[in-house]
Amino acid sequence: MKLYVTNQSTGEKRYLKQSAVSRQELVKQLGSERFQIDQQVYSVSEVVAESNESTAGAMAAGGVIGVVGGVPGVIIGGIIGALLGKSTDDEDKVKTDKFNGSEV
């Protein structure tokens, strides 16, 4: 999960280095409800979480590892990688929804 705010003048996403499960936790980490990025002041309530989609990467890694086993190894490795990546994506989605549903 990645946390970001949207730049008020450009509409560009500005990613935070911090990671938190809720906005309350983010306030504790920052020490305040307000923080500054690139000379612009933001509120923790403006922070949005987005999921890290990792299914494709895990599937590719599984396929590469499976090369040792030939064609069947690539197929089986890809399937295992896809399943592991999907599970990680599902967990990340739950965390993202929890953060986005939290209040300061």
Handedness of CA 36, 37, 39, 43 (dihedral sign): negative
More confident residue, 83 or 41: 41
Contacts of 83 (CB under 8 A, 6+ apart): none
The rounded radius of gyration (Å) of the Cα atoms in the chain is 18
For the chain, give the mean pLDDT.
Answer: 84
Task: Tell which wins on pLDDT, 57 or 98.
Answer: 98
Task: Write down the pLDDT at residue 40.
Answer: 93
**From CA 85, how far away is CA 82, in angstroms rounded?**
5
| Beta carbons within 10 angstroms of residue 41's beta carbon | 10
pLDDT band at 11 (very low <50, low <70, confident <90, very high): very high
- Provide mean pLDDT across the span 23-48: 96
